[in-house]
Chains A and B, each alone.
Chain A
Amino acid sequence: MLNLHLYMAQRLTALIMAPLVIGHLAVMIYAVQGGLSVAEILARTQGSLAWFLFYGSFVLAVSIHAAIGMRVIMFEWLGIKGTLLSLISWGVCLLLLMLGGRAVWAVTFAGAGA
Chain B
Amino acid sequence: MSETGEFLQVSIWREQDGNGHFESFQVPRRDNQTILDVVAWVQQQADPTLSYRFACRVGMCGSCAMMVNGAPRWTCRTHVQKVADDNRLEIAPLRNLPVIKDLAVDMDPFFDKWVAAEAVFEPSQTRDDPMPPINPQDPMRIAASDAIECINCAVCYAACDVVAANPDYLGPAALNRAWSLVNDSRDDGQDARLKAVSGGGGCHNCHVQQGCARYCPNELNPTLSISGLKRATAKSLLGWGQ
Contact = CB atoms under 8 A, between A and B. Distances in A.
Interface stretch (B53-61, B97-105, B143-151, B195-203): B195-203
B166 A75 contact: yes
Interface residues of B, number: 13
Interface residues of A, number: 13
B165 interface: yes
A26 interface: no
B29 to A, nearest CB: 41
B81 interface: no
Interface string A1-35: 11111111001000000000000000000000000
B205 interface: yes
Contacts, number: 34
Dominant secondary structure at the B interface? helix
Interface stretch (B68-76, B185-193, B230-238): B230-238
Contacts of A8: 234, 237
Contacts of A5: 237
Nearest to A10: B204
Contacts of B204: 2-4, 6-7
Interface of A: 1-8, 11, 72, 75-77
Given A1-B200, A2-B200, 20 more contacts: A1-B205, A2-B204, A3-B198, A3-B199, A3-B200, A3-B202, A4-B198, A4-B199, A4-B202, A4-B233, A4-B234, A5-B237, A6-B204, A11-B234, A72-B205, A75-B166, A76-B162, A76-B165, A76-B166, A77-B165
Interface of B: 162, 165-166, 198-200, 202, 204-205, 230, 233-234, 237
